[in-house]
Chains A and B, each alone.
Chain A
Amino acid sequence: MSLDAQDPTPHTHAHGHGHHHGSYLTPKGGVGTVIWDWMTTIDHKKIGVMYLFAVLFMFFLGGAAALAVRTELFYPVRTETTMVAKISETGAPVLDESGKPVMVANTKVTGQFLANLTGNGDAQSIAEGNKIYNRIFTLHGAIMVFMVIVPSIPASLGNFLLPLMIGAKDVAFPRLNLLSWYIYVFGSVFAVASIFGGGVDTGWTFYTPYSTTTDAGHWRVVFMVLSAFILGFSSILTGMNFVVTVHKLRAPGMGWFDMPLFVWGIYSTAIIQVLATPVIGITLLLLTMERLFRIGIFDPALGGDPVLYQHFFWFYSHPVVYVMILPGMAIINETVAVHSRKRIFGYRAIAFASLGIAAVSFLVWGHHMFTSMSELASTVFSALTFLVAIPTAVKVFNWIATLYKGSITFNTPMVYTLIFLFLFTIGGLTGLPLGTLATDVHLHDSYFVVAHFHYVMMGGTIMALMAGMHHWWPKMFGKMYNEAGGITGALLVFVGFNITFFTQFFLGSQGMPRRYASYPTVDNDFQILHQTSTIGSFVILVGFLVHLLVFVHSLIAGKKAPANPWGGLTLEWQADSPPDEHNFTHEPIVTHGPYDYDDVVPPHWDPKDWPMPPPLPGAPARTTMAHAPSKPEI
C-alpha cells in the first residue's frame, strides 16, 4: 500500500522549484525508521493525521458503547413471577399431603441485555443490570466528550490545515504540538485503564456527592477523573499554539480579514480552550482531593456545597460545547463556499459572530443547572442563553445566503454541509425550549435534552467533521475516494440519525427520563419509540461502516488527487496533494481573497487547470480582500 503521491505532474508547479522529495507521507526508510519518524515528528501534518486516526478510533469505541445502551433499551426490564412446581434435590417434584405438587414463585428478569452479556443473567438482579447500564452510558459520554469531540476537529483538521491556510511552514510551537499529542495519548490510557478496571457509573459529569462517595476505595473513579484532567492539558496547549500561530505566522499580505473563515473559527475555539479548560482542571483536582481526603468543599456535612461543584464543572463545560461546535462551523464556512462556487455571504459578520459566540459562551453555564439555583439566577441565565443564539443564527442565515444562487455541486462534502445545516438548525432550535424556564421544568433531564445535544454535537460537529474529511481527504492523502460510496454513507448516516434522535424528542416530551435503563410501558409510546430509536442507531452504524470502507479503499486504490480537485481559493490548495514536508516550497504570496469566486474563477472550471487561469479580460486585478470592489451579492 503506497500512501505517497508520485511525482506531481509539471503543471502543478508553475512556481518552479528543483527538489522533489515526495510528500510528507513519503517513508524515509525502513519500517523502524518510519515508526520513529512518526513518533518523534514535529510536523503539524503528521500530528494532525495521528490525531485524526485516534479520534476516529475513539469514536467507534464510544459508538459501540452507544449501541450497547440502545440495545439495552430495546426491551423494558421486567420481573416475571410464575408459579412452578417445587423440585427436590433428587429431581422429583415435592408433593404436599394431598399429593398435589407444591408450587413456589419463580422470578425471572427479562429484557436485560447488558446483564446477560456480561454473564450476570443468572444473577437475575435488576440492580446489577442497572449498574452495568450506568457504567456503559458513562463510558459513552466520557469517551465521546473528552476523547472524541473536543479534540476532533481542532487537533486533526485544525492542526493539518491551519498553517497551510495562512501560508506558514508549521504551527508556532511544533514541539509543544507533539507534546499535546502525547498528553492526549497518556490521558486516554488512564481512561482505558479505568474502563478495564470495571468502569465508572457517575455519568460523564461526575456530579457530587455521588462521584465522591461511590465505589469507595477503588481507583477507577480517580483514574477516569485524572484522565479528563490530563486531556485538558492537551487541549490547552493546542489552543495556545493556534492563537500564537494565527497572530504571528500569517503570510505577508494576509491581514486578519483576508484569512479564511476556517481560521477565524479555529482561532475563536482556541481562545475558549485557553480560558475555559484550566477551570475544569482545578475542578477535577478539587474533586480528587474531595474523594481521596474528604476535604469537605463539596460535602454538606462539613459545610461544603455539592452545587458548587456543578457551577465549577459547567463554567468549563458550557464553553467547551462551543469548542465542539465552532470548529464544525469553521469547516462549513469553507465547504459551503467552495462547493457552491460562491463568495461566502457576510464574511465579517461570520468572523465577529465566531468571536461573539466565544465571548458569550462564558456567561450561560447556569442553564445546565436551572433546578439547582434560585429563580432570579435561573432567569438571568435563561436571558443570556437566548443571547448566545443570536450570533449562531447569524451564521446559519449567512450560510444559506451563500448557497442561494450558487453553483452547487452535490458531492459528499456538500451533502454533508446540507445535512449539517438541517440537523444543526434543529439542534439549535430545540435548545430554546430547554433554555426557556417554563418549558424546561417539564423537559429537564429527559430524553428531549439527550436529543437536543445529539443533534448539535453529532448532527453538528460530527457531520461537519465528515464534510471536512471528505473535502480535505484528497489534500491530506493525495487520493480521491469513491464519490457514490461517500454519498451512500452520508445518506445512511442522515436517515439513521434522524430515526434515532428525532424519536427521542417525543420520548422526552412524553416524560422519558434520561440515563434510565428501563421504562414503563403503560399508557405511553415509550417502547415503540425506544425500539425505533435503537433500529436507527444500527442504521448509523452501517453508514459509518460504509465510510470506513470508502476511506480504506481510497488509501489502497484511490485515484491520485490533483492539487485542487474542488477549485478552492484558499492557500492549502496551492500546496501539493499530499503536501510537501515543508508545506510550501517558497513563501506564498496572497494575491486574491479566500472567496473571490465570482470574479476570479471562470464557470465550468476544470481541476486540471490549476494554477488558476489569469483573470478574465476586464476583471480588475486584486491584491487582497480588503481592496475588493463591492459587488451586489444577490
Chain B
Amino acid sequence: MTTLPTSQSLPDLHEKKKPLWSRYVHGHHWRSQTEEFDGLKLGFWLFLTTEVLLFAGIFCAYCLFRAMYPGAWAEGSGSLNWQWGALNTIVLLLSSYTMAAAIYCFQTDQQKRGRMNLLITIISGAAFVAIKLVFEYYPKWTMGKRPGSLFDYPFATDPHVPLWWSVYYCGTALHALHVIIGMILIARVYVKSLKGQYGPTYYTGVEVAGLYWHLVDLIWIFLFPLLYLIH
C-alpha cells in the first residue's frame, strides 16, 4: 500500500493552511506511521475474521438443516424472488466499487470526488436495506412467511418450511445489521473527510471502512446463492 504522489503541489502557506492529512502524527507507541498503518490493518483483518466466524454459525445451521429437510429448503428458496436478491447483489457490488474508488480518490487527493464516492456507497447501502425491507421482508411477513413459531402461511406444503424461514431471517437480518454498521462507519469517514482528515499520506480510516464494507459485500455474495439460487 504505497501512497501515490499528489498531482498538485501544496501552496506555500504557513502551517495552519496545510490540510489536516498532511499534519497527521502517528500514535506515540508506534515507531513510524507505516508501522501504525500495517498494525491497524492486521488488527482489522483479525476483526474481519471474527465477523466471518460469527456468520459461520448461520451457514452451519443452513447446511445442517438443508441436509435434513431438502424438501423444506427447496420450497423455501423457491418462494424467494431471486430478482430482488440479484438487484441487491448488484447494488452491493457497485457500492464496493465506489468504496474502492473513494480510497483511490483520497490517495490522489481528490477530496470532492472521494466524498462523492463515499456518499454513493452509503446511499447504496441504504438502498440495499430499503429494497430488503420494502420488497422482501414486508410482503413476506404480511403473507405469514415468518420464522419458526410465528409462521402463518396457509399454503405451505413441507412441515419444516418455518425452519427455513428462521434461517433466512436470521442470516439476512444479521447481514442487514452489518450493512447498517458499515454505513455508520463510512458516514463517520465522510464527516471526518469534510475537515480534510484523509489524503495521500494518511487514509487509514477510509481503508479500514473499505475493508469492512468489502466483507459485508462478501458475506452477501455467499448468502445470495445459498438462499436464492440453489434449489
Q: Which residues of A contact B (CB under 8 A)?
A: 163, 168-174, 176, 236, 239-241, 243-244, 247-249, 274-279, 281-283, 285-286, 289-290, 293-297, 299, 302-305, 308, 312
A236 touches B57 (CB 8 A): no
Contacts A248-B38, A274-B49, A275-B49; is A299 near B43 (CB within 8 Å)?
Answer: no
Nearest B residue to A280, CB-CB = B57
B57 touches A312 (CB 8 A): yes
Once bound together, how far apart are the Cα atoms of A401 and B39, in whole Å?
Answer: 38
B38 touches A297 (CB 8 A): no
B37 CB, nearest partner CB in chain A, Å: 10
CB < 8 Å: which of B28, B46, B57 contacts A240? B46
CB < 8 Å: which of B38, B50, B169 contacts A277? B50
CB < 8 Å: which of B28, B35, B57, B147 contacts A296? B147
B151 CB, nearest partner CB in chain A, Å: 9
Nearest A residue to B50, CB-CB = A278
Interface string of B36-50 (1 = CB under 8 A from A): 001110110011011
Once bound together, how far apart are the Cα atoms of A279 and B174, in whole Å?
Answer: 14
> Which B residues lie within 8 Å of A241 (CB)?
43
A303 touches B160 (CB 8 A): yes
> Which A residues lie within 8 Å of B13 (CB)?
none
- Whether B120 sits at the interface, judged by CB under 8 Å, is no
- Whether B68 sits at the interface, judged by CB under 8 Å, is yes
CB < 8 Å: which of A176, A239, A286 contacts B61? A286
**What are 7 A-B interface contacts by the 8 Å CB criterion?**
A174-B29, A244-B42, A247-B42, A281-B54, A295-B147, A295-B166, A297-B65
Once bound together, how far apart are the Cα atoms of A170 and B28, in whole Å?
Answer: 9
A318 CB, nearest partner CB in chain B, Å: 15
Nearest B residue to A294, CB-CB = B149
Contacts A244-B46, A248-B39; is A303 near B68 (CB within 8 Å)?
Answer: yes
Contacts A248-B39, A299-B148; is A274 near B163 (CB within 8 Å)?
Answer: no
A232 CB, nearest partner CB in chain B, Å: 10
B90 CB, nearest partner CB in chain A, Å: 28
> Which B residues lie within 8 Å of A236 (CB)?
47, 50
Contacts A277-B50, A295-B147; is A240 near B55 (CB within 8 Å)?
Answer: no
Contacts A240-B43, A244-B42, A297-B61; is A302 near B53 (CB within 8 Å)?
Answer: no
> Which A residues lie within 8 Å of B53 (CB)?
275-276, 278-279, 282
Contacts A169-B28, A303-B163; is A279 near B57 (CB within 8 Å)?
Answer: yes
> Which A residues lie within 8 Å of B169 (CB)?
295
B46 touches A303 (CB 8 A): no
A172 touches B43 (CB 8 A): yes
B54 touches A282 (CB 8 A): yes
B26 CB, nearest partner CB in chain A, Å: 12
B14 CB, nearest partner CB in chain A, Å: 31
> Which B residues lie within 8 Å of A285 (CB)?
174
- Whether B143 sits at the interface, judged by CB under 8 Å, is no
Nearest A residue to B58, CB-CB = A282
> Which A residues lie within 8 Å of B200 (CB)?
none
- Whether B4 sits at the interface, judged by CB under 8 Å, is no
B29 touches A249 (CB 8 A): yes
A519 CB, nearest partner CB in chain B, Å: 38
Once bound together, how far apart are the Cα atoms of A293 and B146, in whole Å?
Answer: 10
Interface string of B170-198 (1 = CB under 8 A from A): 10001000000000000000000000000
A244 touches B43 (CB 8 A): yes
B61 touches A302 (CB 8 A): no
CB < 8 Å: which of A171, A243, A295 contacts B148? A295
B28 CB, nearest partner CB in chain A, Å: 7
> Which B residues lie within 8 Å of A169 (CB)?
28-29
> Which B residues lie within 8 Å of A277 (CB)?
50
- Whether B56 sits at the interface, judged by CB under 8 Å, is yes
A293 touches B150 (CB 8 A): yes
B148 touches A244 (CB 8 A): no
Given A248-B35, A275-B53, 10 other A-B residues pairs in contact with their CB atoms under 8 A: A241-B43, A278-B51, A281-B54, A282-B58, A295-B149, A295-B169, A297-B65, A297-B170, A302-B149, A305-B64
Nearest B residue to A274, CB-CB = B46
> Which B residues lie within 8 Å of A281 (CB)?
54
B38 touches A308 (CB 8 A): no
CB < 8 Å: which of A244, A279, A293 contacts B39? A244
> Which A residues lie within 8 Å of B57 (CB)?
279, 282-283, 286, 312
A296 touches B163 (CB 8 A): yes
Once bound together, how far apart are the Cα atoms of A171 and B147, in whole Å?
Answer: 44
Within B110-137, the residues touching A (CB, 8 Å) are none
Once bound together, how far apart are the Cα atoms of A247 and B40, in whole Å?
Answer: 11
A170 CB, nearest partner CB in chain B, Å: 4
- Whether B154 sits at the interface, judged by CB under 8 Å, is no
- Whether B162 sits at the interface, judged by CB under 8 Å, is yes
> Which B residues lie within 8 Å of A176 (CB)?
43
Once bound together, how far apart are the Cα atoms of A404 and B27, in whole Å?
Answer: 45
- Whether B153 sits at the interface, judged by CB under 8 Å, is no
Most chain A beta carbons < 10 A, residue from B38, B51, B149, B167: B149
- Whether B159 sits at the interface, judged by CB under 8 Å, is yes
> Which A residues lie within 8 Å of B160 (CB)?
302-303
B61 touches A293 (CB 8 A): no
Once bound together, how far apart are the Cα atoms of A471 and B144, in whole Å?
Answer: 63
Most chain A beta carbons < 10 A, residue from B42, B51, B56, B57: B57
Once bound together, how far apart are the Cα atoms of A305 and B64, in whole Å?
Answer: 10
Nearest B residue to A583, CB-CB = B29
> Which A residues lie within 8 Å of B43 (CB)?
172-173, 176, 240-241, 243-244
Once bound together, how far apart are the Cα atoms of A77 and B29, in whole Å?
Answer: 60
Query: Which 9 A/B pairs are nearest by Cβ-Cβ distance?
Result: A282-B57, A296-B148, A295-B148, A294-B149, A295-B166, A278-B53, A303-B160, A169-B29, A170-B29
- Whether B72 sits at the interface, judged by CB under 8 Å, is yes
Most chain A beta carbons < 10 A, residue from B61, B167, B174: B61
> Which A residues lie within 8 Å of B21 (CB)?
none
> Which A residues lie within 8 Å of B65 (CB)?
297, 303-304
- Whether B84 sits at the interface, judged by CB under 8 Å, is no
A279 touches B56 (CB 8 A): yes
B70 CB, nearest partner CB in chain A, Å: 12
A303 touches B29 (CB 8 A): no
Most chain A beta carbons < 10 A, residue from B40, B56, B148, B160: B148
- Whether B224 sits at the interface, judged by CB under 8 Å, is no
A278 touches B35 (CB 8 A): no
> Which A residues lie within 8 Å of B35 (CB)?
248
Once bound together, how far apart are the Cα atoms of A174 and B60, in whole Å?
Answer: 35
- Whether B69 sits at the interface, judged by CB under 8 Å, is yes
Nearest B residue to A582, CB-CB = B28
> Which B residues lie within 8 Å of A243 (CB)?
42-43, 46
Once bound together, how far apart are the Cα atoms of A173 and B39, in whole Å?
Answer: 9
Once bound together, how far apart are the Cα atoms of A276 and B53, in whole Å?
Answer: 8
A168 touches B49 (CB 8 A): no
Nearest B residue to A305, CB-CB = B64
B102 CB, nearest partner CB in chain A, Å: 24
